[in-house]
């Protein structure tokens, strides 16, 4: 059997628990394809799971070593029975194995053919790998609070993986978008069409006139403090799942409509954003790329909480 390299969580803990392992290249089942992965996106959930936090860690605690990674882009290497929509050699991207299977930090992965988007030559493969989870989260967060043209929207952590996409999608809907960031990211937020709010300057409520919608990508005390920026009856979606209940509780006490959410893979949304990338109406910022074997550095980077845009692993170059 052909073998491949993967980066696995060997036990829960610091980034150093990530280690390369050898596995058999999987066979695609009916309606699946085998993808030779070129790039794998890195998301905060990967690092939280590695640290033993959250439901993906709970569900996989007896299943270590476990290969994380939900975002992939690469080339179709083999077709399972019944696959007619893709051909060997097609370049594809997708949000795969979510939430319990993971598997993207690997030279080869199998995925349902209908979960993958075709990547055209106009879209850099690295961007196609960075897009899925963060892009679909941004898309679904805006849908959850039904952002519409002319509304005032405040996005916390606008410079991050989800935030920098959410700003652009909200602007495209015709919303007036404000986004919080540090001073180093003010120009970045402006370049995406948002108004940058430096969270170090003063409390947000002193800097922002009341908004219709809050998209909270920070949660906890930062998310709770930002509720003071929302007008009575306004809508809030809070993304960090660990603090969603407490943020929603505070929001309701203030007369706001608030919900948490869990992203759900949608190939239609991925396709739509791939078209935007191709047309240049969506920009994806890659903060850093690391070889698969140096995934621990990628986790250290994402755990700083200061990433601008996305962190990606170069998988093919590890061969």
Rounded Cα gap, residues 24 and 26, in angstroms: 6
Exactly one of 96, 123, 156, 237 binds ligand NAP (CB under 6 A); that residue is: 156
CB of residue 186 to ligand NAP, shortest distance in Å: 8
**Both structure tokens of 248:** 């929603």
Contacting ligand NAP within 32-71 (CB under 6 A): 43-45
Exactly one of 134, 154, 236, 298 binds ligand NAP (CB under 6 A); that residue is: 134
Neighbours of 65 (CB within 10 A): 16
The residue (of 74 and 219) whose beta carbon lies closer to ligand NAP is: 219
Contacting ligand NAP within 182-221 (CB under 6 A): 182, 184-185, 199, 217-218
Exactly one of 7, 181, 282, 292 binds ligand NAP (CB under 6 A); that residue is: 181
Of the candidate spans 26-34, 56-64, 151-159, 289-297, the one that interacts with ligand NAP by CB under 6 A turns out to be 151-159
Rounded Cα gap, residues 2 and 26, in angstroms: 9
CB of residue 284 to ligand NAP, shortest distance in Å: 12
142: Cβ–Cβ under 8 A, 6 or more apart, which residues?
166, 169, 170, 173, 215
214 in Cβ contact with 147 (< 8 Å):
no
Window 221-250: contact mask with ligand NAP (x via CB under 6 A): -x----------------xxx---------
The residue (of 116 and 181) whose beta carbon lies closer to ligand NAP is: 181
Contacting ligand NAP within 68-87 (CB under 6 A): none
**Both structure tokens of 297:** 């550095």
Residue spans of alpha helices (H) in the chain: 44-50, 55-60, 125-130, 132-144, 161-172, 186-191, 204-207, 220-226, 244-253, 267-279, 295-303
CB of residue 104 to ligand NAP, shortest distance in Å: 15
Exactly one of 74, 135, 163, 194 binds ligand NAP (CB under 6 A); that residue is: 163
Sign of CA dihedral 97, 100, 102, 103: negative
Helices (H) and strands (E) in the chain, counts: 11, 15
Rounded Cα gap, residues 297 and 94, in angstroms: 23
CB of residue 70 to ligand NAP, shortest distance in Å: 10
The reply on whether position 308 binds ligand NAP by CB under 6 A is yes
The residue (of 239 and 277) whose beta carbon lies closer to ligand NAP is: 239
Sign of CA dihedral 150, 155, 158, 161: negative
CB of residue 111 to ligand NAP, shortest distance in Å: 19
Of the candidate spans 1-9, 106-114, 167-175, 306-314, the one that interacts with ligand NAP by CB under 6 A turns out to be 306-314
CB of residue 302 to ligand NAP, shortest distance in Å: 5
Q: DSSP assignment of 66-97, as one string?
A: B----EEEEEEEEE-TT--S--TT-EEEEE-S
The residue (of 73 and 131) whose beta carbon lies closer to ligand NAP is: 131
Sign of CA dihedral 238, 164, 181, 142: negative
The residue (of 66 and 70) whose beta carbon lies closer to ligand NAP is: 70
Residue in this structure with the two tokens 């058999």, named with its chain if needed: 24
The residue (of 138 and 292) whose beta carbon lies closer to ligand NAP is: 138
Rounded Cα gap, residues 135 and 174, in angstroms: 18
Contacting ligand NAP within 263-282 (CB under 6 A): 263
The residues binding ligand NAP (CB under 6 A) are 43-45, 134, 137, 156-157, 159-163, 180-182, 184-185, 199, 217-218, 222, 239-241, 261-263, 302, 305-308
């Amino acid at each position: 059997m052909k073998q491949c390299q993967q980066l696995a969580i060997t036990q829960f803990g610091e980034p150093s628990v990530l280690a390369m392992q050898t596995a058999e290249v999987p066979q695609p089942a009916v309606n699946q394809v085998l993808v030779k992965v070129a790039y794998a996106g890195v998301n905060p959930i990967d690092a939280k799971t590695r640290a033993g936090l959250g439901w993906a860690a709970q569900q996989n605690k007896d299943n270590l070593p476990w290969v994380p990674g939900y975002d992939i882009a690469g080339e179709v290497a083999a077709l399972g029975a019944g696959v007619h929509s893709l051909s060997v050699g097609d370049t594809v991207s997708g949000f795969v194995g979510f939430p319990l299977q993971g598997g993207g930090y690997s030279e080869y992965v199998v995925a349902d053919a209908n979960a993958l988007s075709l990547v055209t030559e106009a879209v850099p493969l690295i961007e196609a790998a960075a897009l899925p989870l963060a892009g679909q989260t941004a898309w679904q967060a805006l849908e959850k609070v039904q952002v519409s043209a002319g509304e005032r929207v405040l996005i916390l952590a606008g410079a991050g993986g989800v935030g920098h996409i959410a700003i652009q999608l909200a602007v495209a809907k015709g919303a007036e978008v404000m986004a919080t960031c540090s001073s180093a990211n003010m120009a970045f937020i402006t370049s995406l069409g948002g108004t940058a709010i430096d969270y170090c300057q003063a409390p947000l409520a002193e800097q922002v006139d009341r908004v219709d919608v809050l998209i909270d990508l920070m949660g906890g005390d930062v998310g709770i403090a930002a509720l003071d920026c929302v007008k009575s009856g306004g809508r809030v979606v809070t993304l960090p799942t660990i603090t969603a209940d407490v943020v929603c509780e505070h929001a309701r006490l203030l007369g706001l409509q608030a919900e948490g959410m869990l992203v759900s893979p949608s190939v239609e949304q991925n396709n739509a954003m791939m078209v935007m990338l191709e047309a240049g109406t969506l920009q994806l910022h890659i903060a850093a790329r690391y070889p698969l074997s140096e995934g621990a550095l990628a986790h250290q980077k994402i755990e700083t909480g200061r990433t601008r845009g996305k962190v990606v692993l170069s998988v093919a170059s590890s061969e």
